[in-house]
Amino acid sequence: MTNSWTDIKNADIVLVMGGNAAEAHPCGFKWVAEAKAHNNARLVVVDPRFTRSAAVSDYYCPIRAGTDTAYLLGVINYLLTTGKYHAEYVKHFTNASYIVKDTFAFNPEEGLYSGYNAERRTYDRSSWDYEMGEDGFAVRDLTLEHPRSVFQLLKQHVSRYTPEMVERICGSPKDKFLKVCEYIGSTGNGEKSMTIMYALGWTQHSYGSQTIRTAGMLQLMLGNMGVPGGGVNALRGHSNVQGLTDIGLLSQSTPGYLAMPTDREPTLASHFANRDFRPLQANQISFWQNYNKFYVSLLKAMYGTAATKDNEFGYAWLPKIDKVYDTLQQFELMHQGQMNGYICQGFNPLLSVPNKNKMRAALSKLKFLVSIDPLETETARFWENHGEFNDIDSAKVQTEVFMLPSTCFAEDEGSFTNSSRTLNWRWKAADGPGESRTDTVIMADLFLRIRDLYAKNGGAVPEPIQNLDWNYVQARNPSPDELLRELNGKALADLKDPTDPTKILRRAGEQVDGFAQLRDDGSTMSGCWIYSGAYTEAGNMTARRDNTDPSGLGVHPKWGFAWPANRRVLYNRASSDPNGKPWSARKQYIHWNGSRWVGPDVPDYAPTLSPERAAGPFIMNAEGVSRLFARKLMAEGPFPEHYEPFESPVANVLHPKTPTNPAARVFKGDMEVFGTAKDFPYVATTYRLTEHFHYWTKHVKLNAIVQPEFFVEISPDLAREKGIQNGGWVRVFSNRGSVKAKAVVTKRIPVLKVDGKTVHTVGMPIHFGFIGETKKSFGVNTLTPFVGDANTQTPEYKAFLVDIEPLASGPAVS
């Protein structure tokens, strides 16, 4: 989230799209109710289903699953044609005025940008950038009239997304779409703000990142970034998925969103040289120029005293990546037989990753599989025959499988980071059952055993292992307290104040106060620079429990610790105009008081940088402004474009020759098992239920009682057409597999007219499997396609094709 849960109460319009917070995040959704009750806010819901969020909305508009980008581009077109956008904000705080290179082009008939290589399905992105002036800075035109200004290019780009075109693509009736536009457009004035709440309804598409980008662009057009009640807010679905992403547990990532080194960066110097964060305007500050300090501090946290200036702080020991090894790539390699071992730490890929039959075949090729989990998972029992729910011959599976008991949240201490980026410390209430151990003890044990084996017997390149810093009080049980201190970072030598060398900021051995004190000379260490400030000399900031809110704006500055720097609303300098005056009294947040930036939150800006310098408010970008044009940062184009899901019921009406994301990675064999509308005429989408959490609560008796079995939801029209009874058994099948379920016939599933064609949707909750308290089920991932977003590789779970037929009886239950 750019903002926070409690900030939602400041919104005037709440747009829930690509998520269903009332169902999946009920206790966070109370802040929407709060906004409605006390801020006269209106809730607008756009969703393929009439969801629980829609049920309490002020306005609901249906949409075909997977067409959100077109819808949002349509809204941007509406703002530009009606003038209902925040013109001053767009002019000064976005790159609307930047001039794009004349080699950049978009072909609307082909649906392709300049630089496409069809064979490799990738772009040469060199033309997707600004024209640079002779002074070394990017060229701007503040009149926004230059034909190659981002503003004019955007205007031209979205002009195709008329209300009529939105109706043709999305199946959303024009009058309803325009009503939603009116609501959204009412906030483009600085007086009002809109928050956007989304979840996996946006991410789980082969173009999900671009949908979210479009939402960001929309909020920038309206001036809704950096203000109370604004922002683009990812609800996030798991208790610490924010934290584990912050910590960099993704193949290409490091703690604090620095980059893993690649083959092209054999030395630390070359890694740094590839990251040019020089400001693109004469007056600009570019925060990422501190990158080296964070990186060296991370290397010091990894390799301790073995990391020296002479060995580039142990950079050579860090593995270099040749490509991204996301989950889909991992299972593809496993399926090809190129992997031997796999460890799942609280993860159940047999149900979570698409195409279950491929998953099971892949796992069967492993030499060994380790599951570290409080619960028995389907993955840990993939080799076990469960009749038609998991039809496998155990005797043929040669994989050694280990199931290790770990403690659960109540039996361990440490911090979780919530969607508002706030770290909350939790305390241990009881020991775990049986012989269960904490994740830290298990990881320490594993590492120390391997290190001992290398010490005793030698082996391949033992140096990175031997030099890993392991300076914990109890080597076999590093305490969460020690680990959070390590994440925060400390001084390794006395840190002199750069502005006054007679002053010492921090003595050697003391915790740093924040990332501003980190150095690139090896005199500091910090595991994760954005968590710097979480555990200072003043103690564990994540354990703070002062819930006061002096401003009344839902800031709660002394509750836990929000990264970065305890900031609760990101980009908050943008809540004031270029002169530092609030855009409006109603949305006042951070402003310039003549000598510094002040307000209820930590300013997202240099605290004493005068507005007279005219530096932009988005200091994480070298431009100082936000990007309506993404330069080279997105795989499929600097502006979002509508592409159909890989399985779609209709042609792409804009460019039939390029119907789907041209830059999405599709593995051989997966392309072949995409189904077509001829064989599989219905759009399927998957989602959560309020009674269940992912694949855990099917183990939980109370939840299994209230929601005991898998079902699919269809409209009364489709039920009539197919002769399906409410409560009767059906078979749902895609080109990859087949599941049996009970049918729930409900008006909550709208029937849409898309370009003259009737489109039916089949809704399917996730949550069910063949282990636990709920009735045995197949897993919806039996049906889903094995393709991900072109930037993040998040699988396309929200829009694919199926067929459905009635069954006389259900599956045989053993």
Interaction residues for other proteins, span 6-35 (CB under 8 A): 6, 24-28, 30
Looking at 430, 473, 585, 813, which residue binds other proteins (CB under 8 A)?
Answer: 430
Q: Which two tokens stand for residue 622?
A: 């070298």
Contact at 8 Å (CB) between 425 and 542? yes
**Contacts of 813 by beta carbon, 8 Å cutoff, 6+ apart:** 387, 775, 776
Query: Which residue, 438 or 761, has its beta carbon nearer to other proteins?
Result: 438
Establish if 433 lies at the interface with other proteins (CB under 8 A): yes
Between CA 48 and CA 65 the distance in angstroms is: 6
Contact at 8 Å (CB) between 312 and 268? yes
Establish if 416 lies at the interface with other proteins (CB under 8 A): yes
Between CA 504 and CA 494 the distance in angstroms is: 7
Query: Which residue, 486 or 577, has its beta carbon nearer to other proteins?
Result: 486
Query: Which residue, 352 or 524, has its beta carbon nearer to other proteins?
Result: 352
Cis peptide before 708 (omega within 30 of 0): no
Q: Segment contacting other proteins (CB under 8 A): 73-81, 110-118, 495-503, 551-559?
A: 551-559
Establish if 344 lies at the interface with other proteins (CB under 8 A): yes
Establish if 446 lies at the interface with other proteins (CB under 8 A): yes
Query: Which residue, 5 or 183, has its beta carbon nearer to other proteins?
Result: 5
Looking at 108, 133, 136, 341, which residue binds other proteins (CB under 8 A)?
Answer: 341
Establish if 533 lies at the interface with other proteins (CB under 8 A): no
Establish if 345 lies at the interface with other proteins (CB under 8 A): yes
Binding mask 287-306 for other proteins (x = CB under 8 A): --------------xx----
Establish if 50 lies at the interface with other proteins (CB under 8 A): no
Between CA 786 and CA 647 the distance in angstroms is: 11
Determine which helix (DSSP H) or strand (DSSP E) holds 100, and give its type and residue range.
Answer: none
Establish if 207 lies at the interface with other proteins (CB under 8 A): no
Q: Which two tokens stand for residue 92?
A: 């000064």
Site for other proteins in 52-111 (CB under 8 A): none
Establish if 603 lies at the interface with other proteins (CB under 8 A): no
Q: Which two tokens stand for residue 21?
A: 């917070």
Q: Give the number of other CB atoms < 10 A from CB of residue 305.
A: 11
In three-state secondary structure terms, 475 is: coil
Query: Which residue, 97 or 784, has its beta carbon nearer to other proteins?
Result: 784
Between CA 496 and CA 22 the distance in angstroms is: 51
In three-state secondary structure terms, 220 is: helix
In one-letter notation, the amino acid at residue 467 is N
Contact at 8 Å (CB) between 523 and 507? no
Looking at 82, 103, 308, 398, which residue binds other proteins (CB under 8 A)?
Answer: 398
Q: Give the number of other CB atoms < 10 A from CB of residue 773.
A: 14
Looking at 55, 142, 273, 450, which residue binds other proteins (CB under 8 A)?
Answer: 450
Establish if 453 lies at the interface with other proteins (CB under 8 A): yes
Establish if 38 lies at the interface with other proteins (CB under 8 A): no
Establish if 259 lies at the interface with other proteins (CB under 8 A): no
Query: Which residue, 316 or 807, has its beta carbon nearer to other proteins?
Result: 316
Q: Which two tokens stand for residue 483?
A: 């680990």
* Distance between first and last Cα of the chain: 45
In one-letter notation, the amino acid at residue 507 is R
Establish if 390 lies at the interface with other proteins (CB under 8 A): no
Establish if 391 lies at the interface with other proteins (CB under 8 A): no
Establish if 396 lies at the interface with other proteins (CB under 8 A): yes
Contact at 8 Å (CB) between 688 and 765? yes
Establish if 755 lies at the interface with other proteins (CB under 8 A): no
Establish if 615 lies at the interface with other proteins (CB under 8 A): no
Query: Which residue, 50 or 347, has its beta carbon nearer to other proteins?
Result: 347
Site for other proteins in 650-709 (CB under 8 A): 690-694, 696-697, 699-703, 706
Q: Which two tokens stand for residue 31?
A: 């802040």
Contact at 8 Å (CB) between 556 and 6? yes
Q: Segment contacting other proteins (CB under 8 A): 49-57, 175-183, 403-411, 600-608?
A: 403-411
In three-state secondary structure terms, 189 is: coil
Contact at 8 Å (CB) between 695 and 377? yes
Establish if 811 lies at the interface with other proteins (CB under 8 A): no
Torsion (CA) 794, 798, 804, 808 in degrees, nearest 10: 80
Looking at 250, 493, 744, 751, which residue binds other proteins (CB under 8 A)?
Answer: 250
Establish if 565 lies at the interface with other proteins (CB under 8 A): no
Query: Which residue, 346 or 578, has its beta carbon nearer to other proteins?
Result: 346
Between CA 136 and CA 132 the distance in angstroms is: 6
Closest CB 586 distance from other proteins, rounded Å:
22
Site for other proteins in 307-336 (CB under 8 A): 316-322, 325-327, 329-330, 333-334
Q: Segment contacting other proteins (CB under 8 A): 79-87, 164-172, 552-560, 712-720?
A: 552-560
Handedness of CA 318, 324, 330, 333 (dihedral sign): negative
Closest CB 309 distance from other proteins, rounded Å:
18
Closest CB 119 distance from other proteins, rounded Å:
22
**Contacts of 659 by beta carbon, 8 Å cutoff, 6+ apart:** 643, 644, 648, 651, 652
What single DSSP character describes residue 516?
A: G
Token pair 């049920």 is found at: 55
Contact at 8 Å (CB) between 706 and 679? no
Closest CB 384 distance from other proteins, rounded Å:
7
Query: Which residue, 108 or 550, has its beta carbon nearer to other proteins?
Result: 550
Establish if 477 lies at the interface with other proteins (CB under 8 A): no
Site for other proteins in 777-796 (CB under 8 A): 788, 792-795
In three-state secondary structure terms, 804 is: strand
Looking at 164, 431, 679, 805, which residue binds other proteins (CB under 8 A)?
Answer: 431
